[in-house]
Structure 1
Amino acid sequence: MTVPEPAEELRRATAPASATLRDALLVIDRSGTRVCLLVDDAGRLAGLLTDGDLRRAVIRGKSLEERAIDHATTSPHTVAAGSPRALVVDLLTALHVSAVPEVAADGTLLGLHTLSDVVGARPLPNVAVIMAGGRGTRLGELTADTPKPLMTVAGRSIIEWLVLGLVGDGIRDIHISVNYLAEQIEEHLGDGSRLGCSLRYLREDPDRPLGTAGSLALLRAERPDLTDPVIVMNGDLMVQFDAGDLLRTHRRTGATMTMATRSYQHEIPFGVVQTEGGRVVRVAEKPTLSFDINAAVYAVAPHALAWVPEGRASGMPDLVETCLAKGEVVTAWPIGGDWIDVGTPTDLARAKGHT
Structure 2
Amino acid sequence: MKQWEKTLISPGCTIEEAIATLDRVAVRIVMIVDGHRQLLGTLTDGDVRRALLKQCPLNTPVHQIMCTTPRTAERDWGTDRILSVMEKYSLLQLPVLDEQRRVIGLQTLHDLLNKPRLDNPVFLMAGGFGTRLRPLTQHCPKPLLKVGEKPILEIILERFISAGFHRFFISTHYMPEMIREHFGDGSQWGVEIRYVHEEQPLGTGGALGLLPQDEIDMPLFLMNGDLLTTLNFLNLLDFHEGNGAVATMCVREYEYTVPYGVVESEGHRIRSMVEKPVHKFFINAGIYLLSPELVKSVRPGTHIDMPTLLEQQIAQQHHVNMFPVHEYWLDIGRMEDFQRAQQEFSSL
Structure 1 counterpart of 2:238: 248
Question: Cα deviation per residue 1:103-139 (whole Å; 9 max; x = unaligned)?
Answer: 89xx956679xx9966851111210100000111111
- Whole-angstrom distance in 1 between the partners of 2:213 and 2:334: 34
Which amino acid counterpart does residue 215 of structure 2 have in structure 1? D
Equivalent residues of 1:307, 1:322 under 8 A apart:
no
- Whole-angstrom distance in 2 between the partners of 1:127 and 1:161: 17
Alignment of 1:218 onto 2:203: no
Which amino acid counterpart does residue 208 of structure 2 have in structure 1? L
- Whole-angstrom distance in 1 between the partners of 2:77 and 2:219: 28
Structure 1 counterpart of 2:300: 310
Q: 1:83 to 1:348 in 2, by over 3 A?
A: farther
- Whole-angstrom distance in 1 between the partners of 2:85 and 2:232: 22
Structure 2 counterpart of 1:173: 167
- Whole-angstrom distance in 2 between the partners of 1:187 and 1:120: 31
Structure 1 counterpart of 2:144: 150
Which amino acid counterpart does residue 217 of structure 1 have in structure 2? G
- Whole-angstrom distance in 2 between the partners of 1:153 and 1:213: 27
Equivalent residues of 2:78, 2:231 under 8 A apart:
no
Equivalent residues of 1:119, 1:196 under 8 A apart:
no
Which amino acid counterpart does residue 294 of structure 2 have in structure 1? A
Q: CA deviation at 1:202?
A: 1.1
Alignment partner of 1:163 out of 152, 157, 162: 157
Equivalent residues of 1:258, 1:300 under 8 A apart:
yes
Which amino acid counterpart does residue 209 of structure 1 have in structure 2? P
So what's the TM-score if we normalise by structure 1? 0.66
Question: Cα deviation per residue 1:55-105 (whole Å; 9 max; x = unaligned)?
Answer: xxxxxxxxxxxxxxxxxxxxxxxxxxx9965x89xxxxxxxxxxxx8489x
Which amino acid counterpart does residue 308 of structure 1 have in structure 2? V
Question: 3-state DSSP class of the match of 1:292?
Answer: strand
Equivalent residues of 1:214, 1:310 under 8 A apart:
yes
Q: CA deviation at 1:179?
A: 1.1
Alignment of 1:339 onto 2:333: no
Question: 3-state DSSP class of the match of 1:180?
Answer: coil
| Matches for 1:25-104 after TM superposition, within 5 Å | 102=84
Q: What is the identity percentage for the equivalent residue pairs of Structure 1 and Structure 2?
A: 36
Equivalent residues of 1:163, 1:195 under 8 A apart:
no
Structure 2 counterpart of 1:69: none
- Whole-angstrom distance in 2 between the partners of 1:321 and 1:146: 33
Give aligned pairs, total. Answer: 258
Structure 2 counterpart of 1:131: 125
- Whole-angstrom distance in 2 between the partners of 1:126 and 1:216: 15
Q: CA deviation at 1:194?
A: 2.3
Instruction: Name stretches of at least 5 consecutive residues in structure 2 with no aligned partner.
Output: 1-26, 30-75, 93-108
Alignment of 1:237 onto 2:227: yes
Equivalent residues of 1:190, 1:199 under 8 A apart:
yes
Equivalent residues of 1:102, 1:110 under 8 A apart:
no
- Whole-angstrom distance in 1 between the partners of 2:85 and 2:181: 36
Instruction: Name stretches of at least 5 consecutive residues in structure 1 with no aligned partner.
Output: 1-5, 9-81, 89-100
Structure 1 counterpart of 2:269: 279
- Whole-angstrom distance in 1 between the partners of 2:161 and 2:277: 42
Alignment of 1:192 onto 2:186: yes
